[in-house]
Structure 1
């Protein structure tokens, strides 16, 4: 993919900016994958619209971090995994690689389970059969990679807009209280003082920033053939930041829509303990009054699951090639990642059924929480390295906000991890 998308030199600024549209959508997928659905459903059903402010703050943090990813990728010509290999000792580098691989497998596990659940809800496919069928998505990814990165970006963006359309229709059917929705974006003291609200807020934050997205974004921005001069790189950084911010705004709207739907349907209907995807699907039709609501919910889930498998595969290739300098054929890479995820999913589904997959989904998010600091902190170290970035170094205000966001994300994720391990 490297420098495979031409950026027109003589065209106007709009055409040049459109040449950079795409990588942000590959990144945005990780912010609306099936792992995010449980926290949004739980938050909306339990506390109504109150936690919308957490979704907003989480997305603003993500926009800043992904903009820094684009900056270091363009400024250095290296992705985050390659920069780690350049800077850190071999032992540290191998440890970071292993943690990144665990995070990608955990991400793949969540996507696999989400896709299998969607197949069961839509077509009645048994969960264990759906888990095995999801392995076939490797064929789609291999075909798209053979075409070009633009085909991948088009598929991902198309599925994102499908998800957005499903939830737009869902909101029309749910008829939320829009005044209360807007009030939900205003910070509330109860989020901090109420222990249950704080716990779910941490879960929403913890499920938002995905470790593999940081590695992926620093690599995919280099698919654009921007110029070598300082002015061309500054323009590339600006356009890449706009691309990712717009795409992440769509992810914010989708995550907000999930929470708003849960608040308008379940919380308003007195069902305040809905947290599992299957339970939400079962309750939607009778509580909204039409089967279309449940169908739209399942279609959106399937699109999210398929989308996220594409980006997890790309991130896996970036991590392996960057940390180890080892290149595997895409088919082999996809097979290895999927086998690591599919074995526990098949075993748990066979033994425990739907309740077991719900617990496995939660476990995958805990694993991501454990790995996140080992991706965010290196990112901020490189973003702060003026000797490496030179004139393209991030402005001070971005660094201050970036380190503050890093501290909050790491602290919240460690709290979520500690609570999860404590039962």
Structure 2
């Protein structure tokens, strides 16, 4: 919680994968001569290599930032005279964690970091939401109207909550959004793992056995941790809340069956058979596709994404 409030955003960013995929679907051509250190013989495989480098670099930087945030927080809050202050950290008061390092400029630097973090989160969330809504709903309207509607839906709720509730509401909103992301994580992570492990979906580009095993171990570990903490957090709230016992029992009767349905849905999603083959190697059968690829003018795999305009 301290780390989330210090950085101003939750850790889970599954929508970044959707945004990255949508932007890549917009790229109609690839300059093969620009690949100086790799000879591009297989464009999809080469795209995977570039994506691996890009994602690894971004995640490595994020890892060091999170380690720094947690280390500074743990160092400062380990002092006995600051224990009460650390128990009630908000977006306004978190700057004191940097005062021993940055002295008088701690508040200014923290404000700049918080603004940059908020801008990054807002841009990625809004763009990803716009691509997702345009893809699923097939919105047919003017570009400025579509952008206004999709971005308002993304930004308006959090903006209203922050203006009405102040810093305390903004901090609670961060925690709630992190819980929601943890709740929906299996429904985006499991299909991603299954698609990359399936020859019906990926053809010859499916992951190797080692990558499949490691990915499933890490994925199931993350899902298990999220389910455990969501369950224990709810049980702890049930025990220590100030509601009447009748209301607590009613909430338990309503929520526990939903938790069972949620876990059953995750298990079903894991073991659901993949019977539909979607990979089609068009380059072996269609000369119209093969010719532009030889001229370094690649045709995207997702024509529906190619028709979606990039956010302005």
- Measured in 2, the distance between the counterparts of 1:332 and 1:322 equals 12
2:163 is the alignment partner of 1:359: no
Could you say which residue in structure 1 is the equivalent of 2:232? Answer: 419
- Measured in 2, the distance between the counterparts of 1:284 and 1:418 equals 34
- Measured in 2, the distance between the counterparts of 1:372 and 1:305 equals 22
2:212 is the alignment partner of 1:409: no
Could you say which residue in structure 1 is the equivalent of 2:120? Answer: 307
- Whose helix proportion is higher, 1 or 2? 1
Could you say which residue in structure 1 is the equivalent of 2:269? Answer: none
Could you say which residue in structure 2 is the equivalent of 1:384? Answer: 197
Return closer, same or farther for 1:219/1:348 CA change in 2, 3 Å cut-off: closer
Could you say which residue in structure 2 is the equivalent of 1:40? Answer: 3
Return 5+ residue gaps in structure 2 as ranges.
Answer: 33-39, 238-312
User: What per-residue deviation string (whole Å, max 9, x for no partner) do you get for residues 369-388 of structure 1?
Assistant: 11111111111121112123
2:24 is the alignment partner of 1:221: yes
- Measured in 2, the distance between the counterparts of 1:289 and 1:381 equals 47
Q: Secondary structure of the residue that 1:278 maps to in structure 2? A: coil
- Measured in 2, the distance between the counterparts of 1:269 and 1:257 equals 21
Q: Secondary structure of the residue that 1:247 maps to in structure 2? A: helix
Could you say which residue in structure 1 is the equivalent of 2:184? Answer: 371
Q: RCO greater where, 1 or 2, for CA within 8 Å and sep 6 or more?
A: 1
What does 1:3-402 align with in structure 2 at a 5 Å threshold?
A: 38-40=1-3, 114=8, 207-224=10-27, 225-226=29-30, 231-268=42-79, 270-272=81-83, 273-274=86-87, 275-282=89-96, 284-285=98-99, 287-288=100-101, 290-326=103-139, 329=143, 332-339=146-153, 341-343=155-157, 345-347=159-161, 349-350=163-164, 352-402=165-215
Return closer, same or farther for 1:239/1:339 CA change in 2, 3 Å cut-off: closer
User: What per-residue deviation string (whole Å, max 9, x for no partner) do you get for residues 211-266 of structure 1?
Assistant: 31232232233344338986222222112211110121111111112112213333
- The question of whether the paired residues in 1 share the 8 Å contact of 2:122 and 2:155 is answered with no
Q: Secondary structure of the residue that 2:82 maps to in structure 1? A: coil
- Measured in 1, the distance between the counterparts of 2:14 and 2:2 equals 18
CA apart distance, 1:340: 5.6
Q: How many residues align?
A: 224
Return 5+ residue gaps in structure 1 as ranges.
Answer: 1-37, 45-110, 116-206
TM-score (norm 2): 0.61
TM-score (norm 1): 0.47
CA apart distance, 1:39: 4.0
- Measured in 2, the distance between the counterparts of 1:269 and 1:236 equals 52
Return closer, same or farther for 1:373/1:289 CA change in 2, 3 Å cut-off: closer
- Measured in 2, the distance between the counterparts of 1:41 and 1:232 equals 38
- The question of whether the paired residues in 1 share the 8 Å contact of 2:18 and 2:128 is answered with yes
- Measured in 2, the distance between the counterparts of 1:215 and 1:407 equals 21
- The question of whether the paired residues in 2 share the 8 Å contact of 1:372 and 1:410 is answered with yes
User: What per-residue deviation string (whole Å, max 9, x for no partner) do you get for residues 159-201 of structure 1?
Assistant: xxxxxxxxxxxxxxxxxxxxxxxxxxxxxxxxxxxxxxxxxxx
- Measured in 2, the distance between the counterparts of 1:305 and 1:331 equals 24
- The question of whether the paired residues in 2 share the 8 Å contact of 1:214 and 1:375 is answered with no
Give the number of the structure whose alpha-carbon radius of gyration is greater: 2
- Measured in 1, the distance between the counterparts of 2:30 and 2:207 equals 19
- The question of whether the paired residues in 1 share the 8 Å contact of 2:162 and 2:170 is answered with yes
